[in-house]
Amino acid sequence: EIVLTQSPGTLSLSPGERATLSCRASQSVSSSYLAWYQQKPGQAPRLLIYGASSRATGIPDRFSGSGSGTDFTLTISRLEPEDFAVYYCQQYGSFMYTFGQGTKLEIK
Q: How far is it, in rounded angstroms, from Cα 29 to Cα 84?
A: 27
Q: Which of 19, 21, 37, 55 binds other proteins (CB under 8 A)?
A: 37
User: Residue 102 Cβ, how far from other proteins at the closest point, in Å?
Assistant: 5
User: Residue 65 Cβ, how far from other proteins at the closest point, in Å?
Assistant: 11
The torsion angles phi and psi of 81, rounded to 5 degrees, stand at: -55, -35
Spatial CB neighbours of 42, under 8 Å, sequence gap ≥ 6: none
CA-closest candidate to residue 1, choices 106, 100, 97:
97
C-beta of 30 vs 77, nearer to other proteins: 30
List residues near other proteins by CB under 8 A.
1, 30, 32-35, 37, 39, 44-47, 50-51, 56, 88, 90-92, 95-102
